[in-house]
Amino acid sequence: MRTKERNSGIAKKFRHIVLLVLFCLCLSCSMGMAESPEQPAYLHELEDLEQQYQAVVGVYAIDTETGRTIAYHEDKRFSYCSTHKALLAGAILQHFSLADLNEVIHYSADDILSYAPVTKNHISEGMTLGSLCEAAIRVSDNTAANLMMQKLGGPKVFKDCLQEIGDKTTRPVRLEPELNTRDGKKDTSTPRQLALDLQAYALGDVLTDEKKALLLDWMQGNATGDNLIRAGVPEGWQVADKSGSGAYGTRNDIAVIYPPDRKPIVLAILTTHKDRDAKTDDALVAEAAGIIVKSLRVK
């Protein structure tokens, strides 16, 4: 009899323990569900944009007013294409003095690439280093970019310069125009890293105020970005950007955006497609920029 009572008591205690454990598990699950935040609307909007354009989109935005960041495929590698020209100019400004920008760089007709709208007109007299930087950024002159890279010391030195500002990601290997084609990790970076690099050169303490102003002036005069990030921000906002395009319909833009009466936003938008012969989509970049600006709730 005592054995039965003892067993009954043990069974009751066991049931109580099981019920208590189940209650705790249910409570934990319900609390977890209650505390789990909904995905930001911009994630769904960017996913829809990818579906609409049958593309891959990568975004990283830094609001220097609030410190808030917005990210989507931020660590995915993309071919950086001509966006690197802004960072290359930053590296030139970092390692050469303003007086050095007046040095005349001579080159020959053999150096002229198929897209060289400025350098092709100055073969006889050459161009100053500063003028090459301006041509590379404002009209994306490929010969100017290669001459800048040569002056800096080549892609390996460019990579070292980026590492000096904390970039362990970007992989410069080739020159224009080969760098615009996919080849593994060669000449690739991520939206996050390009935004951080641009922030370091244009807004950070890597360059003097005078050099930062010069870099931003070149970028504000960019003639190849009107249909990209600039087209996606409200009227009256100032944009300093550098665009890029390449195989697989790759279309990129990195920018420092100035809303009125507040600190700037740094934004990198990189896009590509699966088909090598796909066309670039300027509207894709512009729409992505609009989504990001709306999500930052900048007034």
123 shares a domain with 22: no
Domain count, the chain: 2
24 shares a domain with 132: no
Nearest to 176 by CA among 130, 126, 141, 124: 141
The model's pLDDT over 163-190, given as tens digits with 9 standing for 90+, comes to 999 999 999 999 999 999 999 999 999 9
Any catalytic annotation for residue 114?
A: no
Domain that holds residue 258: 41-296
96 shares a domain with 23: no
Environment class of 287 (CB within 10 Å of its CB; exposed 0-12, middle 13-18, buried 19+): buried
The model's pLDDT over 198-253, given as tens digits with 9 standing for 90+, comes to 999 999 999 999 999 999 999 999 999 999 999 999 999 999 999 999 999 999 99
Query: What's the mean pLDDT when you consider all of the chain?
Result: 92
DSSP 8-state class, residue 187: T
70 shares a domain with 92: yes
Helix-strand-coil percent breakdown of the chain, rounded to 5?
Answer: 50, 15, 35
Catalytic residue among 47, 65, 164, 178: 178
Q: How far apart are CA 241 and CA 198, in angstroms?
A: 10
7 shares a domain with 70: no
238 shares a domain with 134: yes
Answer yes or no: are the C-beta atoms of 284 and 49 closer than 8 Å.
yes
149 shares a domain with 9: no
24 shares a domain with 80: no
pTM over 0.85? The answer is: yes
Q: How far apart are CA 116 and CA 140, in angstroms?
A: 8
188 shares a domain with 45: yes
27 shares a domain with 158: no
- With tokens 């990195």, the residue in question is 254
Could you tell me how far CA 225 lies from the centroid of its own chain? 15
210 shares a domain with 66: yes
Tell me the CATH number at 144. 3.40.710.10
70 shares a domain with 20: no
Catalytic residue among 74, 79, 82, 295: 82
Any catalytic annotation for residue 287?
A: no
For the cut 50, the answer to whether the pLDDT of residue 30 exceeds it is no
The model's pLDDT over 38-52, given as tens digits with 9 standing for 90+, comes to 789 999 999 999 999
From residue 180, give the alpha-carbon distance in Å to each of 66, 87, 247, 272, 286: 35, 16, 6, 12, 21
- Strand duo 127-128 + 104-105: pairing: antiparallel
